[in-house]
Structures are given as structure tokens and as C-alpha cells.
């Protein structure tokens, strides 16, 4: 799977660990930055991540910041993206199966490395169920429906 990952300065270590883990799992991973712990603005990286998921360059995205909240909000500004902030695997699984989430967001200050990997594994291995959920997902990108 082609996966893009981005963070802010608060999540740089978790980003590197998850990037390496996904590569070990056989995924193609694009690290969209940043590369250092110098202070950056999470919306810039959330918008960059949303752009590559929306245009199909990446099939899924991983968005990280201190809490996961800010970068998730930024990603969700793009109508083609459905970012779900999760902190445990069941939420990640339901975000995929019911909401067709194409981006997972987590907080590096709130979610440990092992739990983040478990969430990511659930997110990457779960398929969207479609059926009755499709109508609802369609409304997420088109509120006028």
C-alpha cells in the first residue's frame, strides 16, 4: 500500500518509528516531514498530507501531532479526506469499516509507540464495509446530499 505520513515537531520521533515499521511491513511510505524538531505549524503538514491522499498519490495517510487533534482538523478541511483521531485499535477498525477513513490521526503525547502500531495495523488491515455505510460516507464529502 502507498502511505503518506506527516507530523509536527512534537511527533517527529513517533513518525520516524511508524514510518520504519510500515516499511518493514512491506508498505511504500512517503515521509512528508518535518525532518527536525524545530517548531513548525501542524496545519501546513496536515494540508500537505491531505493533498497527496486526495489526489491519489497515497492510498492512506498517517497524521501525527502532539495531541492528534490539530493535524486531524487540518486534514479534514479537504473534502476528499476522512481523518479519524484514534487512540486504540477498535476506533481505528471502526473508522475504516464504517467511515471509510483514509487518514488516521494520533497524538504522540497521548499514544505510546506500541499502541500507535496496533492502531495503525488495525487501520491498514481493515476494509470499508460499504453497503449502508456508503450513503453516510458520501454525505461527509457532500453535505448537500
- The binding site consists of 8-9, 66-70, 99, 109, 132, 136
Sequence-ordered list of residues with C-beta below 8 angstroms from that of 128, at least 6 positions apart, any chain: 96, 97, 100, 137
Of 53, 54, 72, the C-alpha closest to 111 is 72
Q: Residue 98 CB: number of other CB atoms within 10 A? A: 16
* Stated length of the chain: 145
Residues in binding site for D-ribulose 5-phosphate: 8-9, 66-70, 99, 109, 132, 136
- Which cell numbers hold the place of 51? 493533498
Residues taking part in catalysis: 65, 98
List of E strands, 1-145: 2-7, 28-31, 60-65, 83-85, 103-107
Amino acid at each position: 500500500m502507498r502511505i503518506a505520513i506527516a507530523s509536527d515537531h512534537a511527533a517527529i520521533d513517533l513518525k520516524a518509528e511508524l514510518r520504519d515499521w510500515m516499511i518493514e511491513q512491506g508498505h511504500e511510505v512517503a515521509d512528508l516531514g518535518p525532518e527536525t524538531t524545530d517548531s513548525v505549524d501542524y496545519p501546513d503538514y496536515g494540508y500537505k498530507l491531505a493533498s497527496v491522499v486526495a489526489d491519489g498519490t497515497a492510498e492512506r495517510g498517517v497524521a501525527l501531532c502532539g495531541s492528534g487533534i490539530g493535524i486531524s482538523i487540518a486534514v479534514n478541511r479537504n473534502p476528499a479526506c476522512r481523518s479519524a483521531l484514534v487512540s486504540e485499535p477498535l476506533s481505528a477498525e471502526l473508522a475504516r469499516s464504517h467511515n471509510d477513513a483514509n487518514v488516521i490521526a494520533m497524538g504522540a503525547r497521548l499514544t505510546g509507540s506500541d499502541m500507535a502500531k496496533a492502531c495503525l495495523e488495525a487501520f491498514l488491515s481493515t476494509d470499508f464495509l460499504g453497503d449502508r455505510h456508503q450513503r453516510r460516507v458520501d454525505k461527509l464529502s457532500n453535505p448537500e446530499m
